[in-house]
Structure 1
Amino acid sequence: MTTRILLIEDDQELNELLSEFLSLENFHVDQAFDGEQGLNMALNGQYDVLVLDIMMPKMNGLDLLKQFRISHKTPVLMLTARSDEVDRIVGFEMGADDYLPKPCNPREISARIRAILRRVEMDKSGLEASGKRQIIIREDVELNHNTRIVSKQGETIDLTSTEFNLLASLLAKAGQVLSKEELTENALGRKLALYDRSVDMHMSNLRRKLGPFVSNEPRIKTIRGVGYQYVINA
């Protein structure tokens, strides 16, 4: 089955270049050249991945993403200015799955799309849960692999698919330190790239949503230069 991509990018030359390249990579690509057009197509089409620029006329990419996430969980790959980390952080908070700084190589975009699709397929097939308990409980947090629902003290926590995968990896090895390389592969379906802060940003959102223990101690510790650890609360 052909993978359908919606490319939302106002730079017409770049849009055409990426569309042509992705078509050669056997993706079906629809194009949008401003935010309003992109949102309308995203809401009314059946797409497997959205590739979304941030700075666009009529509606910027962050506003588009916010409205789209109200009703759709389709994976979104953001394209951001190389130095604009604030946009990346806000984008992740609104539910983006991954990002690439511009200018970027079309081959890297293709690779990121394929990584997202692999991760989505793993989520659907339950391969990530193989060999693990279907329900993991750590203190007041419960994670259910079958329903992909996380709750704390009985209240459901709204996590993105990437945040769920990160938490599942941490809870399965609570008390152990997991490297950023391992977490990137588990949550994003790809290798860790140089200067890649995707996991750090997703982890920041995850910490905010989970909150600390009742003792006010952090649930997730950063082990500088290594990775992250879900703390076993004594």
Structure 2
Amino acid sequence: MSTPDHILVVDDDPEIRELLSDYLGAAGYHTHTAANGEEMMRIAEGCRIDLIVLDLMLPGEDGLTLCRNLRVRSNVPVIMLSARGALLDRIVGLEMGADDYLPKPFDPRELLSRIKVILRRARSMPVSGELDSAPILRFAGWRLDTHARQLHSPTGLVIGLGGSDYRVLHTLLRHPNRTLSRDFLVDRVYGKERSPFDRAIDVCVSRLRNHLEDDARSPQLIKTVRNIGYLLAADVMQEDT
């Protein structure tokens, strides 16, 4: 029998914590709960956590800060919850490293569905031809540290990447010299949901080109394949730390 996934629910509302703990427990998950960031980090450091459901508005450090700090040490998937469902808030949450964003009030069935999708994606193996997971990926004089999620320039400059920017670059590096469609990138970076994330992919690529000093008018590293998507025009080498 397989071991149940462990879900950590972080919300300062005790009713929401109890509701989700009972609902996800009935769905077969082992659920932990925390009311703030301090409790969240204590639980995350003390046991295996497979996914975090994280409220944006928390006492003390808010969800955005906690997600950003978490990304420095862990790749555990995060679904962010917030009563603020504006598009800008969603994009900011994803930029901080969240894997998905669900506005309040929400249907627990929708949350459960998104949890299943994200856990399935997290467990998926690379398809044939992809690079294996490696701590360091080198390309065109640049170096991506996949543990720290930092990009190192040929001159030694260290660039911290937001969550979606990192996932776009990492996906391109795992499929060098191959055209990747926008749909493929959206699926890998944000999940199955399309709008408004199609445009977000283009914004991520624009930022990455700026980081990589890749002229947007005539890019040499991340090339646009018209009406399809993008291609990383470089060989990629793996390096163990």
Instruction: Assess same fold via TM > 0.5.
Output: yes
Q: Quick check: 1:82–1:103 contact (8 Å CA) kept in 2?
A: no
Matched pairs, number:
222
SS across alignment from 2:12:
coil
Cα distance in structure 1, aligned partners of 2:82 and 2:109: 17
- Partner residue of 2:126 out of 125, 128, 141: 128
Shift of 1:11: 2.1
- Indicate the residue corresponding to 2:168 in structure 1: 166
Cα distance in structure 2, aligned partners of 1:89 and 1:30: 27
- Indicate the residue corresponding to 1:208 in structure 2: 207
- Indicate the residue corresponding to 1:31 in structure 2: 33
TM-score (ref. length: structure 1) = 0.71
Q: Quick check: 2:172–2:232 contact (8 Å CA) kept in 1?
A: no
Is the alpha carbon distance of 1:144 and 1:220 closer, same or farther for their aligned partners in structure 2, counting shifts above 3 Å?
Answer: same
Map residues 168-183 of structure 1 onto 2, 5 A cutoff. 170=172, 172=175, 176=179, 178-179=181-182, 181-183=183-185
Superposed CA RMSD = 3.9
- Structure 1 unmatched ranges of 5 or more: none
Map residues 58-69 of structure 1 onto 2, 5 A cutoff. 58-69=60-71
Cα distance in structure 1, aligned partners of 2:205 and 2:69: 21
Query: Deviation digits for residues 100-125 of structure 1, max 9, x if unmatched?
Result: 22222212211221222122212xxx
Q: Quick check: 2:178–2:232 contact (8 Å CA) kept in 1?
A: yes
Map residues 68-87 of structure 1 onto 2, 5 A cutoff. 68-87=70-89
Cα distance in structure 1, aligned partners of 2:171 and 2:19: 37
Cα distance in structure 1, aligned partners of 2:20 and 2:224: 37
Cα distance in structure 1, aligned partners of 2:139 and 2:223: 15
Cα distance in structure 2, aligned partners of 1:200 and 1:153: 30
Shift of 1:55: 0.7
Cα distance in structure 1, aligned partners of 2:164 and 2:84: 22
* Counterpart residue type for residue 130 of structure 1: S
- Indicate the residue corresponding to 2:13 in structure 1: 11
- Structure 2 unmatched ranges of 5 or more: 235-241
Task: Determine which structure has greater relative contact order: mean sequence separation of CA pairs < 8 Å that are 6+ residues apart, divided by chain length.
Answer: 2
Cα distance in structure 2, aligned partners of 1:63 and 1:144: 21
- Partner residue of 2:112 out of 107, 110, 127: 110
Q: Quick check: 2:7–2:50 contact (8 Å CA) kept in 1?
A: yes
Q: Quick check: 1:78–1:99 contact (8 Å CA) kept in 2?
A: yes
Shift of 1:54: 0.3
TM-score (ref. length: structure 2) = 0.69
Shift of 1:79: 1.1
- Indicate the residue corresponding to 1:90 in structure 2: 92
Shift of 1:165: 5.2
Q: Report the identity percentage.
A: 33
Is the alpha carbon distance of 1:50 and 1:201 closer, same or farther for their aligned partners in structure 2, counting shifts above 3 Å?
Answer: farther
Cα distance in structure 2, aligned partners of 1:101 and 1:220: 33
